Amino acid sequence: MWHALVLPLSEYRMAQTDIRDSLRERGVRLTRQRKILLDLIDTSGEHLDAEQLYQMAKKRDVKLNRVTVYRTLKMLKQGGLVDELDLMHYGGDQHYYETRLKQEHAHIICLRCGKVEEFFGEHIQKMRKQVEQNLGFQILLTRTEVGGYCSNCQILRAREVEQARGTELPARGRGRTSG
């Protein structure tokens, strides 16, 4: 999975401080292994699943094991620091992780190649305000996913449709007799 957002270093450092403070408030230490996972989630430039996180983290700390990764992800999710995303189930039952401390955004997922982009902007905030005002709803968390085809996959799909039409038309005429 790929996404377009890379946090500026100043925002990343601020997020790390927020994460440490949030963990401290819950009585949880930011261990080396937890820090590795949070760093990977924040700076990889991708939405990673647990197995990908494990493989990448293992390169930084050979003592890290799969159970620790899953337990840490669960703890970070329960602590409200990490969101677990299904990204329109593009990867089947895969779940992907990102820090919750980012500005609210929408995930735009290509249903063909799996490319994930993040859309930030005032439109997301406007929608949130409209829901709160029009429905009297107190929003605690928003998650928006949009599925479709990226520009590259639109071109590939158009070619496939044209190819299918080209081979399909003669097949329809086979076996028919005029009369």
The total number of structural domains in the chain stands at: 1
Query: Identity (one letter) of the amino acid at 140?
Result: L
Q: Does 148 reside within a domain?
A: yes
Q: What is the pLDDT of residues 92-117, one digit of tens each?
A: 778 888 877 667 888 899 999 988 88
d(CA 51, CA 69): 9
Residue 26, both tokens: 């819950």
- Domain ranges, residue 71: 9-173
Say if pTM beats, i.e. exceeds, 0.95: no
Q: Does 135 reside within a domain?
A: yes
Low-confidence ranges of the chain (pLDDT < 50): 1-14, 169-179
Q: Does 3 reside within a domain?
A: no
Q: Does 63 reside within a domain?
A: yes
Phi, psi angle pair for 144, to nearest 5°:
-125, 130
Positive or negative: CA dihedral 128, 131, 136, 141: negative
Q: Is 55:33 a contact under the CB 8 Å cutoff?
A: no
Q: Is 57:33 a contact under the CB 8 Å cutoff?
A: yes
CA atoms within 13 A on the CB side of 79: 25
Distance of CA 142 to the CA centre of its chain: 14
pLDDT the model gives residue 176: 47
Please choose, from the candidates 14, 3, 23, 1, the residue with its C-alpha nearest in 3D space to the C-alpha of residue 72.
23
Q: Does 142 reside within a domain?
A: yes
Q: What is the CATH number for 126?
A: 1.10.10.10
Q: Does 141 reside within a domain?
A: yes
pLDDT the model gives residue 101: 62
Q: Does 178 reside within a domain?
A: no
Residue 107, both tokens: 């995930």
Q: Does 2 reside within a domain?
A: no
pLDDT the model gives residue 96: 81
